[in-house]
A = this chain, B = another copy of it.
Amino acid sequence: MKEEVRKFDVLKIEGRNTDRIQDTIVREFALTLFLNTHEVTTLICTPSNLEYLAAGFLFSEGLIKEKEQIKNLTVDHKKGSARVITREGDLDEDSAHWKSLLTPGANRLALLPSDNKAEKKTPINTKMAIKRDQIYSLMDKFDLSPQVFMSTGGTHSAALCDKKDLLLFREDIGRHNAIDKIFGECILRNIQTDDRIIMTSGRVSSQTLNKVSKTNIALIISKSAPTDLGIEISKQVGITLIGFVRGRRMNIYTHDWRVIP
């Protein structure tokens, strides 16, 4: 399990008790997958069993069908890459299916996924702080808000808040989409984000941070766990990251001076 987790200093709050402890955090890893000479995709994953992940992804996407097709499968943990070489002539790269895979529209943008490093950013410069009780009160309101979740159990939620209230609330099957819906509404309706807070029901990863750090929001409050890269980027850009806010408990992972007892 060594490669799947890392230890971080965390401020753990339970009722009136405060403990600075070493907590175990799940690792996040970007694995770029190559099939023969082709780059297939970059998977954001937990760095264990990467051979299985590479073979399984190719199988699930219908790119390989059986073990016998694989001549060689290597994983380079340092570079974050996996390469599968098939028997010569085994993939019918002249087929219509392959031709469609190999000729993306010339106008398709190549969005770059995470590369296991935090982007360099100017740290956020706000003295904003919040009381513990305000965080609990916001989470109580957040828990009561999701209509689609109440009836289906199938969505994530995100909210924009000030210290006292939820200002915007959105749901989506994708946790990143819920956050994007919030930021899109801010842009289209000219809602400012200075000294405001983002709340999410979902895990806080590098992708979450790359979204939030496009704004000047300095506080992320989540019901769930962060990943190691989520913590590292938060530390670097000056964001206070709070996770596992449940009942009267929470974990503060970075810049805990923003939370006042």
Docked-complex contact B51 and A188, CB < 8 angstroms: yes
User: Which residues of chain B come closer than 8 Å to A40, judged between CB atoms?
Assistant: 109, 111
Interface mask (A196-209 → B, CB under 8 Å = 1, otherwise 0): 00000001010000
**In the complex, A171 Cα to B46 Cα: how many Å?**
8
Q: Give the number of chain A interface residues (Cβ < 8 Å).
A: 82
Docked-complex contact B24 and A151, CB < 8 angstroms: yes
Total identical chains: 2
Q: Which single residue of chain B is at the shortest CB-CB distance from A172?
A: B46
User: Which residues of chain B come closer than 8 Å to A181, judged between CB atoms?
Assistant: 49, 52-53, 56
Q: Which single residue of chain B is at the shortest CB-CB distance from A25?
A: B152
User: Which residues of chain B come closer than 8 Å to A171, judged between CB atoms?
Assistant: 4, 46, 48
Check A154 for interface membership: any CB of B closer than 8 A: yes
**In the complex, A103 Cα to B5 Cα: how many Å?**
36
Q: List 11 A-B contacts (CB under 8 A).
A: A26-B152, A40-B109, A44-B173, A56-B184, A56-B185, A62-B214, A67-B188, A100-B112, A101-B109, A104-B104, A153-B224
